[in-house]
Structure 1
Amino acid sequence: MRIRIIAVGRAKRGPEQSLYDVYRKRIAWPLELIEVEEKRPLPTDQRILREDELIRAKIPDGAVIVAMDETGDDLTSRKLAARFQDWQDRGVGDVAFLIGGADGLSDGLKSAAALKIRFGRVTWPHMLVRPMLAEQIYRCRQILDGHPYHRD
């Protein structure tokens, strides 16, 4: 199973990117971070639609789409790991996690998602969501492998 994190915005070198790299290197599944960006200053509604186009162009055909969204479910790590197990059992080839820009994902992308999740009720900086998501993907792999990294 291949995993893509498709995110709006370009990360600069810094602690967030370094932390993402730490977890990316630990993850047994192939993981790719794809960044998209619209540089033209557009009104909010037009920018969201343009970001939608850029994101959709990077989603592999047949991929399970997971939207990172403030209205998503608060999943425990074990419940998220169970989703990964289900995807593996069903032979899913690609999973695409989507991280929107400052104004979030389009309604169309949220509707296309098989799963919407959030990291709690607070708002996190988009650049910090990347390493947090990478850590959770790593944690899910460890849970599925029965590794003591995750304890109840």
Structure 2
Amino acid sequence: MDIEIWSIGKENDSFIENGIAHYFKKTMPWNKIKLDTFQLPKKLVSTDVQRTKKLEEEMILKKLQAQHYLILLDERGKMLDSTQWASQFQSFMNQGVRTLVILIGGAFGVTDAVRDRANQIWSLSKLVFPHQLVRLMIAEQVYRAFSILNNTPYHHE
């Protein structure tokens, strides 16, 4: 199963990029993982929230393919602990999911069309975090989940 983290927003600062690369490298022996960031072209950036969300929706749905299993991250989604993340990943692999996409929506959230397309909606916290930090947190949680599945000493309970 391939894992793709999709995120709307600016590119990562170097310290975030280094952290993500660190966890991706640690995850690679077990699973392929990558990060794709999407930005609206400068000429399309608008102060109109609904227009911005609609343009982001178009980017997301254009890239989304039938074999993608989409998990949307949203503060109103289902909260899982790290062991539950690992169990979910195992379940996805058992079901034959080819590509798992974890989507970090734009600054204003996502449209109903994107929400409706999501197979699941998860929450990291009731708190709101900067997109770059969420990318790093997801990279770490994916590594943690696979370390749990492979019985390494990283995760402690």
For the aligned pair, the TM-score class normalised by the smaller chain equals over 0.9
Report the 3-state secondary structure (helix = DSSP H, G, I; strand = E; otherwise coil) of the residue aligned with 1:60.
Answer: coil
Q: Could you tell me which amino acid in structure 1 is paired with residue 106 of structure 2?
A: G
The separation in 2 between residues aligned to 1:33 and 1:56, in whole angstroms, is 17
Rounded to whole Å, the distance in 1 between the matches of 2:68 and 2:45 is 30
- Structure 1 stretches of 4+ moved >4 Å: none
The amino acid across from 1:34 in the alignment is: D
**Residue 150 (structure 2) pairs with residue 148 (structure 1):** no
| Corresponding residue for residue 23 of structure 1 | 23
Question: Which ranges of structure 2 fall in alignment gaps of 5 or more residues?
Answer: none
Comparing 105-114 and 73-82, the one that deviates more: 105-114
- 1:13: Cα distance to partner? 3.3
Is residue 2:45 matched to residue 1:41? Answer: yes
**What TM-score do you get using the length of structure 1 for normalisation?**
0.94
The CA distance in 2 between the partners of 1:87 and 1:65, in whole Å, is: 11
| Alignment check: 8 A CA contact 1:6 1:58 kept | no
The amino acid of 1:19's aligned partner reads G
Question: Structure 1: any 5+ residue segments left out of the alignment?
Answer: none
Residue number in structure 1 paired with 2:110: 105
Taking structure 2 as the reference length, the TM-score comes to 0.91
* TM-aligned CA distance change 1:69 to 1:146, over 3 Å: same
5 Å-filtered alignment, 1:1-152, equals 1-27=1-27, 28-38=30-40, 39=42, 40-42=44-46, 43-152=48-157
Q: Percent identity?
A: 30
